[in-house]
């Protein structure tokens, strides 16, 4: 067993860029060069263009904007707007899933695959379940889910899943989220010209808007995706560009909403379609994924992961991609012109994400089956247009076991339970391992790639050091894909762990880095820490657990950071969220928040230091609870 190194991945990318040069293709590597150095005002968050008197920029000579707002107000407003963008995006994804659930029918294409989970949520929400048809129940719960977005009174239903202490903090600090859409609107209202300019107020709303994502929209996205498509359980798959197959029709799904990718996978597996592909000279059909939609179908179907965020152009550069089919979020507009340099069809499907140089096939829950069939057929028909001289698929892939939902983790733990002592169906065996010191703690590794950080390097190096120090890693999003590409989700990676974690991996038959899903699935991590807190009798903030996004780039990531911190988990960032222009805001985020929610941010661009700080924090937390 050998990990794939970042150097090897970079060499493969270099070779692909060579192919790109032959056909005049662009790449993010070139665009970064044209965009740097970045504007200092933007980078430090002190550029304001929320009204047309500006844009105003803060300098020593001009310490205030035309309205009189200072750097602190401008930075905090920008931060809240950034958060609201992310919260809106995740939450709208969740809304789409509720909508898909509303369209579920016994005759398909969308069915209820996990009725047990649906019933559990219905009961939690006080819906009568006895004697009800499961599809009637699905529609009733879907409407309730949709109502969470505009609920007139009260707070998000899912907040009740948090430990009592956490709920009390949210109440006390007035950050318990109300209607999801209301928190986004309220944020945009607060940042309008002439509203809030007080950092405390703006950052407080950033937490509330973040919480409406993590404990509202994202959680709805996760839970109802599980109801529709099944709650993930451990499944074997593969990762990295080598999962594409040069003899097959390659369809790459990219984006976030599993409603589309699930259907594509369904029809690409249809014997009729496979026969059609063979009639066109291919040996079969390979579906692989990029970004979070890839995580969704990997977790539920074992569909291989071609790559993460900064690898999206690479799949086209292989010259062997018949279609890259996208839904929403994290899709480079660059894919349009890039696909034109090859035979690749760039298929957009959502009114939310429309791009030039793409073929738009509008995907709708009612017509999902026909839409998916048409897309798969289009890809097959495109196989013969491939230019064999341009085909190069790097021979690079790793095995990975993925699918660790909270339910799957608890079930796995039952397997290692000493049934004489421990109850089953709880996180107690994990708590045992942590208190005894066999495992020192856990880190949630999440987030994107960012050209500001050598892509994947931070994810992989941090994880290697953490597991070597007996710290178990749970991962999601592009961080999870970085781990899988490197081989850290292969069970054999146990050999890179410290003795304690290695033993746990052997006993539980798990890899040391557990794939918990897409970014909306960070809501799963919130449930997991809540269960750990309840089962151990500790507060979330006392657990030796931290969060980390070393290469983050999107608005969604900031929204996530806010709800993770607001849930009581210290969060470590490798990229600054455009706040360095205000010492007040920086101090609030890295220190002040601790007085409100018992956790705060640490921003550290030096990767070595970042991991050491996390280990230090975990050890501090252990000492504080006397373990
Ligand atoms: Ni998350 Fe997923 Fe990746 Fe970043 Fe984008 S795919 S939702 S935002 S880039 S981790």
> Cα separation of 71 and 59, whole Å?
9
Q: 532 CA to middle of ligand 1, Å?
A: 26
Bridge partners, residue 290, by sequence:
254, 307
The per-residue pLDDT for range 307-327, each reduced to its tens digit, is 999 999 999 999 999 999 999
Residue 422 confidence (pLDDT): 64
Measured from the Cα of 476, ligand 1's closest atom is 10
Measured from the Cα of 477, ligand 1's closest atom is 10
Residue 343 confidence (pLDDT): 98
Q: Cβ neighbours of residue 189 under 8 Å, at least 6 residues apart?
A: 195
Residue 331 confidence (pLDDT): 98
Q: What is the mean pLDDT of residues 563-568?
A: 98
Write the residue with the smallest CA distance to atom 6 of ligand 1.
291
Residue 417 confidence (pLDDT): 65
Q: 312 CA to middle of ligand 1, Å?
A: 12
Measured from the Cα of 446, ligand 1's closest atom is 10
Q: 46 CA to middle of ligand 1, Å?
A: 26
> Cα separation of 491 and 505, whole Å?
8
Averaged confidence pLDDT in the chain? 97
Extract the tokens encoding 497: 């762990």
Q: Cβ neighbours of residue 603 under 8 Å, at least 6 residues apart?
A: 572, 573, 574, 575, 576, 577, 586, 590
The per-residue pLDDT for range 19-28, each reduced to its tens digit, is 999 999 999 9
Write the residue with the smallest CA distance to atom 7 of ligand 1.
519
Q: Cβ neighbours of residue 427 under 8 Å, at least 6 residues apart?
A: 409, 410, 413, 528, 531, 532, 535, 536
Q: 447 CA to middle of ligand 1, Å?
A: 6
Measured from the Cα of 329, ligand 1's closest atom is 5
> Cα separation of 574 and 157, whole Å?
33
Q: 292 CA to middle of ligand 1, Å?
A: 6
Of 291, 307, 310, the residue with max ligand 1 atoms within 8 A of its CB, to mutate for a pocket test, comes to 291
> DSSP class of residue 64?
B
> Cα separation of 443 and 615, whole Å?
9
> Cα separation of 57 and 240, whole Å?
43
Measured from the Cα of 520, ligand 1's closest atom is 7
Measured from the Cα of 519, ligand 1's closest atom is 7
Write the residue with the smallest CA distance to atom 5 of ligand 1.
330
Look at residue 240 and give its three-state secondary structure: coil
The per-residue pLDDT for range 569-624, each reduced to its tens digit, is 999 999 999 999 999 999 999 999 999 999 999 999 999 999 999 999 999 999 99
Q: 437 CA to middle of ligand 1, Å?
A: 33
> Cα separation of 476 and 413, whole Å?
20
Count of beta carbons in the 10 Å neighbourhood of residue 191: 23
> Cα separation of 160 and 324, whole Å?
40
Judge if the upstream peptide bond of residue 256 is cis by omega within 30 degrees of 0: no
The DSSP-derived string for 593-609 is HHHHHS--EEE---HHH
Measured from the Cα of 479, ligand 1's closest atom is 10
Q: 330 CA to middle of ligand 1, Å?
A: 6
Measured from the Cα of 295, ligand 1's closest atom is 2
Q: 268 CA to middle of ligand 1, Å?
A: 25
Q: Does residue 466 contact residue 494 with C-beta atoms inside 8 Å?
A: no
Judge if the upstream peptide bond of residue 109 is cis by omega within 30 degrees of 0: yes
Measured from the Cα of 292, ligand 1's closest atom is 2
Q: 477 CA to middle of ligand 1, Å?
A: 5
Chain centre to alpha carbon of residue 153: 30
Q: 328 CA to middle of ligand 1, Å?
A: 11
Query: Could you tell me the CA-to-CA distances from 10 to 6, 15, 70, 484 in Å, in that order?
Result: 6, 9, 43, 16
* CB contact burial 222-249 (16+ within 10 A = b; e otherwise): bbbbbbbbbbbebbebbbbbbbbbbebb
> DSSP class of residue 591?
I
Extract the tokens encoding 118: 């649906």
Rounded to a whole number of angstroms, the CA Rg of the chain reads: 24
> Cα separation of 615 and 430, whole Å?
18
Percentage of the chain lying above the pLDDT 90 cut: 97
Q: Does residue 16 contact residue 395 with C-beta atoms inside 8 Å?
A: no
Residue 416 confidence (pLDDT): 74
Residue 424 confidence (pLDDT): 81
The per-residue pLDDT for range 29-84, each reduced to its tens digit, is 999 999 999 999 999 999 999 999 999 999 999 999 999 999 999 999 999 999 99
Q: What is the 3-class SS of 196-237, one letter each residue?
A: CCCHHHHHHHHHHHHHHHHHHHHHHHHHHHHHHHCCCCCEEE
Write the residue with the smallest CA distance to atom 2 of ligand 1.
292
> Cα separation of 358 and 363, whole Å?
14
pTM of this structure: 0.97
Query: Could you tell me the CA-to-CA distances from 65 to 269, 579, 581 in Å, in that order?
Result: 59, 17, 14
Write the residue with the smallest CA distance to atom 4 of ligand 1.
448
Judge if the upstream peptide bond of residue 37 is cis by omega within 30 degrees of 0: yes
The per-residue pLDDT for range 241-252, each reduced to its tens digit, is 999 999 999 999
CB under 6 Å to ligand 1: residues?
Answer: 256, 291-292, 309, 330, 447-448, 477-478, 518-519, 554, 556-557
> Cα separation of 105 and 110, whole Å?
6
Question: Where does the pLDDT of residue 462 fall: very low under 50, low under 70, confident under 90, or very high at 90 and above?
Answer: very high
* CB contact burial 363-385 (16+ within 10 A = b; e otherwise): bebeebeebbbebbebbbbbbee
The per-residue pLDDT for range 411-423, each reduced to its tens digit, is 998 877 665 566 7
521 has pLDDT over 90: yes
Q: What is the mean pLDDT of residues 539-565?
A: 98
Of 306, 310, 329, 482, the residue with max ligand 1 atoms within 8 A of its CB, to mutate for a pocket test, comes to 329
The per-residue pLDDT for range 368-413, each reduced to its tens digit, is 999 999 999 999 999 999 999 999 999 999 999 999 999 999 999 8
Of 258, 296, 477, 517, the residue with max ligand 1 atoms within 8 A of its CB, to mutate for a pocket test, comes to 477
Measured from the Cα of 308, ligand 1's closest atom is 3
Q: Cβ neighbours of residue 530 under 8 Å, at least 6 residues apart?
A: 161, 162, 163, 166, 540
Q: 416 CA to middle of ligand 1, Å?
A: 33
Q: Are strands 235-239 and 56-57 parallel, antiparallel or unpaired?
A: unpaired
Percentage of the chain lying above the pLDDT 70 cut: 99
Q: 232 CA to middle of ligand 1, Å?
A: 19
Q: 528 CA to middle of ligand 1, Å?
A: 21
Residue 107 confidence (pLDDT): 93
């Amino acid at each position: 067993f050998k990990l794939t190194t970042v150097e090897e991945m970079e060499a493969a990318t270099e070779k692909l860029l060579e192919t790109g040069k032959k056909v005049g293709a662009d790449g993010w590597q070139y665009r970064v060069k044209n965009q740097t150095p970045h504007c200092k005002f933007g980078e430090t968050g002190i550029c304001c263009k929320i009204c047309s008197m500006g844009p105003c920029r803060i300098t020593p000579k001009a310490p205030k904007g035309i309205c009189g707002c200072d750097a602190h107000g401008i930075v905090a407003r920008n931060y809240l707007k950034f958060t609201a963008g992310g919260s809106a995006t995740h939450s709208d994804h969740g809304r789409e899933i509720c909508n898909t659930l509303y369209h579920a029918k016994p005759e398909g294409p969308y069915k209820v695959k996990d009725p047990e989970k649906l019933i559990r949520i219905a009961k939690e929400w006080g819906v009568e379940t006895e004697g009800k048809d499961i599809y009637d129940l699905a529609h009733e719960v879907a409407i309730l889910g949709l109502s969470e977005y505009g609920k007139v009174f009260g707070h998000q239903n899912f907040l009740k899943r948090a430990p009592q202490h956490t709920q009390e903090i949210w109440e006390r600090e007035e950050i318990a989220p109300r209607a999801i859409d209301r928190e986004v609107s309220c944020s945009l209202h607060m940042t309008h010209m002439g509203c809030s300019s007080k950092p405390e107020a703006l950052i407080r709303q950033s937490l509330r808007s973040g919480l409406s994502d993590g404990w509202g929209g994202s959680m709805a996205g996760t839970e109802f995706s599980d109801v529709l498509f099944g709650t993930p359980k451990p499944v074997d798959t593969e990762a990295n560009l080598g999962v594409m197959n040069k003899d097959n029709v390659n369809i790459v799904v990219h984006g976030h909403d599993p409603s589309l990718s699930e259907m594509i996978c369904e029809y690409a597996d249809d014997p009729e379609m496979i026969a059609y592909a063979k009639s066109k000279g291919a040996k079969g059909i390979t579906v692989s994924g990029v970004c979070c939609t890839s995580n969704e179908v990997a977790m539920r179907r074992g569909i291989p992961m071609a790559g993460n965020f900064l690898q999206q152009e690479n799949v086209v550069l292989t010259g062997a991609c018949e279609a890259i089919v996208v839904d929403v979020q994290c899709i480079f507009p660059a894919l349009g012109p890039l696909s034109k340099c090859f035979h690749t069809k760039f298929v957009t499907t959502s009114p939310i994400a429309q791009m030039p140089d793409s073929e738009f096939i509008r995907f709708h829950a009612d017509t999902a089956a026909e839409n998916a069939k048409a897309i798969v057929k289009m890809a097959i028909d495109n196989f013969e247009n491939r230019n064999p001289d341009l085909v190069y698929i790097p021979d690079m892939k790793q095995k990975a076991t993925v699918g660790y939902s909270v339910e799957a983790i608890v079930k796995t733990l039952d397997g290692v339970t000493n049934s004489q002592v421990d109850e089953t169906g709880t996180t107690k065996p994990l708590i045992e391992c942590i208190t005894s010191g066999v495992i020192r703690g856990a880190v949630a590794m999440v987030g994107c790639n960012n050209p500001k950080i050598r892509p994947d390097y931070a994810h992989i190096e941090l994880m290697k050091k953490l597991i070597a120090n007996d710290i178990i890693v749970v991962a999601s999003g592009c961080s999870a894909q970085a781990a899988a590409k490197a081989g850290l989700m292969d069970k054999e990676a146990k050999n890179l762990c410290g003795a304690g974690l290695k033993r746990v991996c052997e006993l539980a038959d798990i890899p040391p880095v557990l794939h918990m899903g897409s970014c909306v699935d960070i809501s799963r991590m919130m449930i997991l820490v809540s269960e750990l807190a309840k089962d151990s009798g500790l507060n979330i903030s006392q657990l030796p657990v931290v969060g980390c996004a070393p290469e983050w780039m999107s608005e969604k990531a900031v929204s996530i950071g806010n709800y993770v911190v607001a849930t009581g988990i210290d969060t470590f960032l490798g990229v600054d969220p455009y706040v360095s222009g205000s010492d007040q805001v920086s101090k609030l985020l890295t220190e002040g928040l601790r007085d409100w929610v018992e956790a705060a941010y640490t921003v550290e661009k030096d990767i070595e230091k970042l991991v050491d700080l996390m280990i230090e924090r975990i050890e501090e937390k252990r000492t504080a609870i006397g373990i």
